[in-house]
A and B are shown apart, each in its own frame.
Chain A
């Protein structure tokens, strides 16, 4: 212990003698470890373990896809009660199948009333989820069977809105006015689609028809059964259902049931990006280690004499090894400490960023115990790794040889410089992988930026208004929004204002549509379109071009004939060359539904993001559907001013109508597009940063090697110059020698870059994983930097005065 302390103090002292070197190594450690821990804790908190449910791989939901409806795999409001019953009864690979429905409930505790998004459970969810309430208890079998008035709160709502009051549990609350007993509070993060209140359903499944797909299920995979086996069984069940009910429900043709872990269901959008980042961060840590090792090696070589003296004085090899390792560990510890501090800042920043872009992520991002442990292990690991090779190399000098001749191309020095070249090669390889990955993502991102959204997306500010049900019955909703639009349009700086229930790129509400005369399916799929309720100026506000007919106006009110505007995608698909104006369509399959007359055709928009082709969309006028939703988005186009500057006056207009009405989700349409691309952008930015960092590290490494070579070959250089070699030749020689490991590393890096490109392909947009431009670009950048990093010290070497050089070395 005492010697360890001595080593530590000695290490600190010797580092103080070369503060520049120590700072550089600590800085590299700190950046590497900081970046690694930030990424790790984000990926861990958000992607790997967002939920506290045990054995998360066995907890699965069942999604469905309907090729006939052109509808991809969905896990939200995707199953009907009979479908859930089919699965529960027929599946042998799933156990503990429970299902739930969701809706709003008003919860009153004392004076406080909260509108809570709630889950209504069929079956006992707790054994399936594998968690129990942290306070109180779960539902009893009797309560579930009878639909007893009992409720459980989420942890976050209990904390933030009900003051974390433990006395609430087993007390009485009112839910939609009825008394319920609050029996428990869920553990933190035990969230099911963000529902904050759980209630037993209390009604059997048998009352709900097969067509009503408003439920979802969750279950445990039977131990020992693989997900693939579950899915095989589910496809058999799906086929059986299609056979039995395909006649009445054509969407069953070819439909797919697929189980996925609950974690994956919730994080599948960001998982590829997260995986790539983890790989990149692993590479970067290797790079940090290689670089630090290279730097340490350079430094150790300058201390050969000191070591030789200590050996001569009787220091054992083990003692020396420990001493040198301790020094590396001191550096790693300092770097680790600084890196941990950095990661606190980083995690904070990332958490805020995730919050602001509103990624649909359930997890908490916070500095966790696992992250600190990870940082500690990484630090220690790198410290040992980095220490071992140089320490090993340096602790076995042939004492007499070293004392006699300070490193004139001795065997030891040659071994050292070989190791340095290995490290440089590794750095170059890793840097190229990261650079090429970053290059691919940047290229893909630029391509995405070049996609036109189909309307004038700039200068439009959007915000969401949800009218409280207690204060606005459905008849008052339309007049509120119509008056709001009138007042906002009168504001200075406003070019146009309107409302809509959804807008690009965030359209989410799709309905089946039936075109008159085309009741039977077209193109093998049943028609589905986004159905948006919009006020008359919507198309003008967004700059969506009118192609045929008209948009909405004052005529389109309650009692007037029902009208609809379709977009070009619908027009092309169902009317081809014919003029759709004057034709009719129905929203929904039921024949009892009214026909809408198509009065206009507008341009298609990228209503699901720039990376998705425009999807069919139809529009209905607010005047005829004014009560159909209590939530509308207010869209305001500014006239020559930054749309954000309009916000205070818009807020004032809202207040003048209703002082208590809040506005939410304020962003411009451009920002909405940007946040839709957020996972992609985060991956692009981080990988580019890593690439730049890697490039810098590689440059430092190459520079170090060449500078070292120059320093230790001064005599040789002097000799060459004295013998008549031209300075340019000497320079070329040294650069050429430095470029050998760069080239070898480059080849290795290319192989790695191709592999990474393949892993990235899911994140790429219109760019292949083997994009030659990105590869060639990265190679060119790396080659240029490598050349510069070797040329600068080489030039210094070749500018030596040969006489002085020979004299100086000779005197050593």
Chain B
């Protein structure tokens, strides 16, 4: 299956899912995104992204009970799926390759500008 590269916000949400225990994900994820990535976003945006990531199979809702139940199983407590882990790793490798050799900086950041 062709890998679809997730967008930046999707990557941030995926990383937050990967970092965190999965209980109460909406609230805790939003906090993570605010504190670590400096992204202010609505809870709705987090949820919408998670729903999208689930449709792609990158995260999945954790199942509560081992028995199949009529009426559909609960979607709850999102967790990172192996395919989600892979796209994160690949995205990072892509960036690393592009950054390779530019470690001294691009001369764009004032504090890094020794060039």
Q: Which residues of A line the B interface, CB within 8 A?
A: 76-77, 81, 101-105, 115, 117, 120, 147-149, 176-178, 193-196, 201-205, 207-209, 212, 214, 358, 360, 464, 466, 468-469, 473-475, 501-502, 508-509, 511-512, 531, 533, 558, 562, 587-590, 592-594, 620, 624-625, 627-631, 662-665
Contact = CB atoms under 8 A, between A and B. Distances in A.
Contacts of A193: 66, 68
Tell which of B21, B35, B79, B86 has the most Cβ of chain A within 10 Å.
B21
Interface residues of B, number: 52
Given A103-B81, A196-B68, A77 B24 contact: no
A214 B61 CA distance: 11
Contacts of A588: 20-23, 28
B44 interface: yes
Given A473-B44, A627-B47, A628-B27, 14 more contacts: A103-B81, A117-B63, A149-B1, A203-B85, A208-B82, A360-B67, A473-B48, A501-B76, A511-B21, A558-B43, A593-B21, A594-B31, A624-B24, A631-B76
A665 B75 contact: no
Does more than half of chain A's interface fall in helix, strand or loop, or is it mixed? loop
B86 A207 contact: yes
Interface string B67-103: 1111111111101111101100100000000000000
Contacts of A629: 74-77
Given A104-B61, A588-B23, A664-B70, A202 B55 contact: no
Contact of A593 (B18, B20, B44): B20
A104 B75 contact: yes
Contact of A207 (B50, B79, B85): B85
* Shortest Cβ-Cβ A-B pairs, 4 listed: A588-B21, A474-B47, A194-B68, A103-B60
B19 interface: yes
A194 B55 contact: no
A177 B1 CA distance: 13
B21 A512 contact: yes
22 contacts: A77-B63, A103-B60, A103-B63, A120-B82, A148-B1, A149-B1, A193-B66, A193-B68, A201-B82, A203-B86, A204-B82, A207-B85, A469-B75, A474-B51, A475-B43, A475-B44, A508-B64, A508-B65, A509-B77, A593-B28, A631-B64, A631-B76
Does more than half of chain B's interface fall in helix, strand or loop, or is it mixed? mixed
Contacts of B22: 588
Contacts, number: 169
B26 A628 contact: yes
B21 A466 contact: no
Contacts of A214: 62, 79
Interface in B1-44: 1, 18-28, 31-32, 35-36, 43-44
Tell which of B19, B28, B73, B82 has the most Cβ of chain A within 10 Å.
B82
Tell which of A104, A147, A624 has the most Cβ of chain B within 10 Å.
A104
Given A466-B74, A594-B27, A203 B82 contact: yes
B24 A587 contact: yes
Nearest to B80: A212
